[in-house]
């Protein structure tokens, strides 16, 4: 039974690139359009873009996905599997940089066990104050341990170093709508020509220009996943006790907290809170943590 990689999912179909297919013809010509066998629905499992699969060809030239190989990582929103790293795209202007939302994205990436790369776009739109804020934000997240790239895709600034980091990996590009995600992908993959939309002045965000998840091949090897834009994330798979482990800078202090299972709220002897007070953990990150903790507790009360 042939093996392959799901590179696109659309309208109930999965488009599989066979391992044995010679690298000739366009990517679209080499894909096999497949349906998933009913056993997946019965077992409440859905194949995802990025899945390694066994599939079977049918008489009409299409195929059926029969089996999924074990996943190394899995995201539900966006729905993609086996990703090595997530490129989180946030604009510096139009819309303004949203650090609490960036922190929320980082929680999801850390919980999924992936590496995170931060890409701050639209540098060309910044005034002098915006430039200072950009430098402060970049320093903050670099100090935590994240790679930060500041780009202006329209001017080609910062794109080449980011492209080098993506080579040989499967990466997912995620971010709020209107942050320049499609523009960045067009710069990373010449000829891609993804549609882009301007920001709505009324809503302060862009229209969703990507309607499905799809892996795009990179010239230097590897794949990058373009995913539908979204503006809201919900903590549906995370417990309050797990939240602290998703903040990298907490880990060295949390191990020394007086109480096991400390959630770094009101407990005495909390070394995380002491580190915040001493300026060793950024207060903005701790505020995000406490806001997320309150959101999770509120969810538990309601459900």
CA distances from 177 to 66, 130, 182, 210, 249 (A): 35, 21, 10, 9, 28
Do 85 and 218 reside in the same domain of the chain? yes
Which residue ranges are tagged as binding site? 121-124, 175-183, 257, 262, 264, 270
Asked which of 69, 91, 107 is the last residue of a domain, the reply is 69
Q: Can you give the pLDDT at residue 193?
A: 63
Predicted pLDDT at 206: 41
Asked if residue 234 belongs to a domain, the reply is no
Are residues 220 and 105 both part of a single domain?
Answer: yes
Same-domain check for residues 208 and 246: no
Boundary (domain end) residue, out of 69, 96, 116: 69
Spatial distance between the Cα atoms of 84 and 190, rounded to a whole number of angstroms: 22
- Predicted local distance difference test score (pLDDT) of residue 198: 41
Structural domain span for residue 154: 75-226
- pTM of the entire structure? 0.81
Are 84 and 185 part of one and the same domain? yes
For the chain, the helix, strand and coil percentages under 3-state DSSP, each to the nearest 5: 35, 25, 45
pLDDT at 220 (0 to 100): 82
Task: Specify binding-site residues for GTP.
Answer: 121-124, 175-183
Does residue 97 share a domain with residue 43? no
* 61 and 181 share one domain: no
Kindly report the CATH number assigned to the domain that includes residue 178: 3.40.50.300
* Residues 262, 280 share a domain: yes
With 0-12 / 13-18 / 19 or more C-beta atoms within 10 angstroms meaning exposed / middle / buried, residue 277 is exposed
Give domain status of residue 85, yes or no: yes
Domain check: are 126 and 206 in the same one? yes
Binding residues for Zn(2+): 257, 262, 264, 270
59 and 105 together in one domain: no
Q: What angle do CA 111, 112, 116 make, to 5 degrees?
A: 90
Is 164 in the same domain as 218? Answer: yes
89 and 152 housed in the same domain: yes
Per-residue tens of pLDDT for the chain, all 303 residues? 899 999 999 989 999 999 986 666 778 888 999 999 998 988 889 999 999 999 999 988 899 999 999 999 887 767 889 988 989 999 999 899 999 999 999 998 898 888 999 999 999 898 888 999 999 999 999 999 999 999 886 777 888 899 899 998 999 888 877 888 888 888 888 777 655 544 333 333 344 444 577 888 888 888 988 665 444 466 767 888 999 999 999 999 999 999 988 999 999 999 999 999 999 999 999 999 999 999 998 877 765
Predicted local confidence at residue 37, as pLDDT: 93
Residue 97 CA to residue 88 CA, distance in Å, equals 12
DSSP letter (8 states) at residue 234: -
Here the CATH number for the domain that contains residue 265 is: 1.10.40.50
Same domain, 80 and 209: yes
Domain count, the chain: 3
CATH number at 52 reads 2.40.50.140
What is the reported pLDDT for 204?
39
Out of 199, 226, 253, pick the residue that ends a domain: 226
């Amino acid at each position: 039974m042939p093996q392959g990689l799901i590179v696109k999912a659309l309208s109930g179909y999965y488009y599989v690139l066979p391992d044995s297919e010679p690298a000739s013809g366009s990517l679209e010509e080499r894909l096999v359009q497949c349906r998933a066998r009913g056993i997946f629905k019965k077992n409440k499992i859905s194949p995802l873009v990025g899945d390694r699969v066994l599939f079977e060809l049918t008489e009409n030239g299409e195929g059926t996905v029969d089996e999924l190989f074990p996943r190394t990582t899995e995201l539900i929103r966006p729905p993609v599997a086996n990703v090595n790293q997530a490129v989180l795209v946030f604009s510096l202007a139009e819309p303004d940089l949203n650090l609490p939302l960036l922190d929320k994205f980082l929680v999801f990436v850390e919980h999924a066990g992936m590496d995170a790369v931060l890409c701050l776009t639209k540098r060309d739109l910044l005034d002098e104050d915006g430039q200072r804020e950009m430098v402060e934000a970049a320093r903050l997240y670099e100090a935590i341990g994240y790679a930060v790239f500041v780009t202006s895709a329209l001017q080609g600034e910062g794109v080449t170093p980011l492209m080098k980091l993506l080579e040989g990996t499967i990466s997912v590009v995620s971010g709020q709508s209107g942050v320049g995600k499609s523009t960045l992908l067009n710069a990373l993959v010449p000829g891609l020509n993804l549609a882009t939309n301007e920001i709505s002045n009324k809503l302060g965000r862009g229209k969703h220009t990507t309607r499905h998840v799809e892996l795009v091949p990179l010239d230097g090897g590897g794949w990058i996943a373009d995913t539908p834009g979204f503006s809201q994330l919900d903590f549906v798979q995370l417990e309050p006790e797990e939240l602290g482990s998703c903040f990298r800078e907490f880990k060295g202090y949390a191990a020394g907290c007086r109480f096991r299972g400390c959630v770094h709220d009101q407990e005495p002897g909390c070394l995380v809170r002491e580190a915040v007070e001493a300026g060793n953990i950024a207060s903005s990150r701790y505020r995000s943590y406490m806001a997320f903790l309150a959101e999770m507790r509120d969810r538990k009360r309601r459900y």
